[in-house]
Amino acid sequence: MSQALLPTLLNLLLRAFVVLLLPPLIPGLITKIKAWMAGRSGPPVLQLYYDLAKLAQKQAVFSRTTTWVFLAGPVGTVAALLVASLLIPLGHTAPLLAFEGDVILFAYLLGLGRFLTVLSALDTGSAFEGMGAAREVSFSALAEPALFFGFAALARATGSLSLTPMLQSHGMWTAGHLSGPLMLILAGWGIVFLAENSRIPVDDPNTHLELTMIHEVMVLDHSGRPLALILYGASLKLVVLGALLVDPLLPVLSKGWLNGLAFLGGLGLLAVVVGVVESTTARFRMNKVPQFLVAGVLASAFAFLLLLV
């Protein structure tokens, strides 16, 4: 009993750390990589922690147009993402809950966050935020099938309907005929990852022109603690969706804590890759974004087709 207790405790600690403390580091890392690529020194890696601490002290300003729905956006998004993070395995460590069909719950929890964010943007009655909301729902209608085709392919390859066996399928790389589909799935999900986290080339969080934004323009009017929740939620989403990309790539290591470390390393690597992608590509014109997302749908659909053969 005591032998089993320690790994479980360690696992819980790792999970609490990854979900609650680690996320703001990832955007900091990405920014740092981008700064280095551009030859600048850039803001400190911990900048988002400072921002969050500052925002938690700040007074929130509410427009007289808004209702309680305005608050439901940030609160609901973070709550939904935290529940989703219970379901996802971090590397080859066990998640808190794994059951048949948790993939669907996971995807719909992300949908819940999106729904509430969109409504809280519309609550301001601002044309800019309505525009962002319209773009968000349009593009996610294409991202959703890409995500589900990927799940379907993994379910078929692993014969399981739960996230944990699906993602901890390291054996797929060693079985030669499965590595092709897995690469396609990861390519499709990579596109979903970039789109859902509003990264270049789909969206640019740092642009100065609101007309060209998607996610950032939806949260223009939030301030103080609600804004802190939004920023933390965005970084948590990077980790939660990042786990989808990182988990299948990790090797199985002998010790539990090594697996945890490997996951952290994988996340760091993902941040570096995103930083490099953002530095070397330009943002697409808005009407090219659907084509990019359709490419994601096709990649995961092809992965499924390959598994049929």
Partner 1 sequence: MRLYLLSLLLAACSGIPGLFLRRRGAEVSAGLMTVSALLGLGAAVGVLAGGPVPSLRLPALALGSPSLLVLDAVAAWFLIPVLLLAACGAWYGVRYWEEAHGHPRWVRLVFGGLTAALVLLVAAAHTWLFLLAWEAMAIGAFLLVLTEDRLAEARRAAWIYLVSTHTGTLCLFGAFALLAGVAGTWDLGALPRGFAASRLGTQTFLLFMVGFGLKAGVMPLHIWLPPAHAAAPSHVSSLMSGVLIKMGILGMVRLITWIPDPPLWWGALFLGLGGVSGILGVAFALGQHDLKRLLAYHSIENIGIILLGLGLGLVGKSTGQPALEALGFAGALLHVLNHSLFKGLLFLAGGAVVHATGTRNLEQLGGLAKAMPWTSGAFLAGSWAICGLPPLNGFVSEWFIYLGAFRAMAGARWPWSVGVLAALALIGALALACFAKAYGTVFLGTPRTAAAAAAHEAPRAMLLPMGVLAGACGLIGVFPMAVAPALDRAIAGLGEALPASSRLAHLPLVTVLALTLALLALGLTRWVWAGRRSEPVPPELPTWDCGYAEALPRAQYTASSFAEGLVTGARWVLFPKVQGPQVQGPFPEPTRFESHVPDPVLDRALEPAFRLGARGLVLLHFFQTGQLPVYLLYVLLTLLFLLIWMVV
Give residues 218-247 in contact with partner 1 (rule: CB under 8 A): 220-221, 224-226, 229
Among 15, 32, 92, 114, which residue interacts with partner 1 (rule: CB under 8 A)?
114
Residue tagged 């799935």 (tokens): 185
Residue tagged 């809950």 (tokens): 97
- 203 scored as a contact of partner 1 (CB under 8 A): no
Q: Quick one: CA dihedral 93, 272, 195, 149, positive or negative?
A: negative
Indicate the residue among 165 and 268 with the shorter CB distance to partner 1.
Answer: 165
Minimum distance of partner 1 from residue 19's CB (angstroms): 12
Q: Phi and psi dihedrals of 301, rounded to 5?
A: -65, -40
Among 11, 93, 124, 198, which residue interacts with partner 1 (rule: CB under 8 A)?
124
Span near partner 1 by CB under 8 A; candidates 4-12, 18-26, 42-50, 124-132: 124-132
Binding residues with partner 1: total (CB under 8 A): 79
- 290 scored as a contact of partner 1 (CB under 8 A): yes
Measure the CA–CA gap between 17 and 28, rounded to whole angstroms: 17
Number of C-alpha atoms within 13 angstroms, CB side, residue 118? Answer: 15
- 135 scored as a contact of partner 1 (CB under 8 A): yes
Minimum distance of partner 1 from residue 272's CB (angstroms): 31
Indicate the residue among 91 and 226 with the shorter CB distance to partner 1.
Answer: 226
Interface with partner 1 in residues 58-87 (CB under 8 A): 59-67, 69, 71, 74-76, 78-80, 82-83, 86
- 269 scored as a contact of partner 1 (CB under 8 A): no
Minimum distance of partner 1 from residue 26's CB (angstroms): 21
Indicate the residue among 205 and 224 with the shorter CB distance to partner 1.
Answer: 224
- 182 scored as a contact of partner 1 (CB under 8 A): no
Measure the CA–CA gap between 190 and 155, rounded to whole angstroms: 18
- 302 scored as a contact of partner 1 (CB under 8 A): no
SS3 300: helix
Residue tagged 């945890």 (tokens): 260
**Does residue 80 come out as left (phi exceeding 0), alpha (psi in the -120 to 50 range) or beta?**
alpha
Measure the CA–CA gap between 169 and 219, rounded to whole angstroms: 37
Indicate the residue among 33 and 228 with the shorter CB distance to partner 1.
Answer: 228
Measure the CA–CA gap between 85 and 19, rounded to whole angstroms: 7
Residue tagged 């996340």 (tokens): 267
- 183 scored as a contact of partner 1 (CB under 8 A): no
Among 5, 39, 100, 282, which residue interacts with partner 1 (rule: CB under 8 A)?
100
Minimum distance of partner 1 from residue 247's CB (angstroms): 19
Query: What's the distance, Cα to Cα, between the start and end of the chain in Å?
Result: 46
Among 101, 171, 251, 265, which residue interacts with partner 1 (rule: CB under 8 A)?
101
Minimum distance of partner 1 from residue 87's CB (angstroms): 8
Measure the CA–CA gap between 26 and 11, rounded to whole angstroms: 21
Residue tagged 């900048």 (tokens): 47
Indicate the residue among 101 and 265 with the shorter CB distance to partner 1.
Answer: 101
**Does residue 307 come out as left (phi exceeding 0), alpha (psi in the -120 to 50 range) or beta?**
alpha
Q: Quick one: CA dihedral 10, 253, 106, 186, positive or negative?
A: positive
Minimum distance of partner 1 from residue 38's CB (angstroms): 26
Q: How many CB atoms lie within 10 A of CB 140?
A: 20
Interface with partner 1 in residues 148-167 (CB under 8 A): 148-149, 151-152, 155-156, 159-161
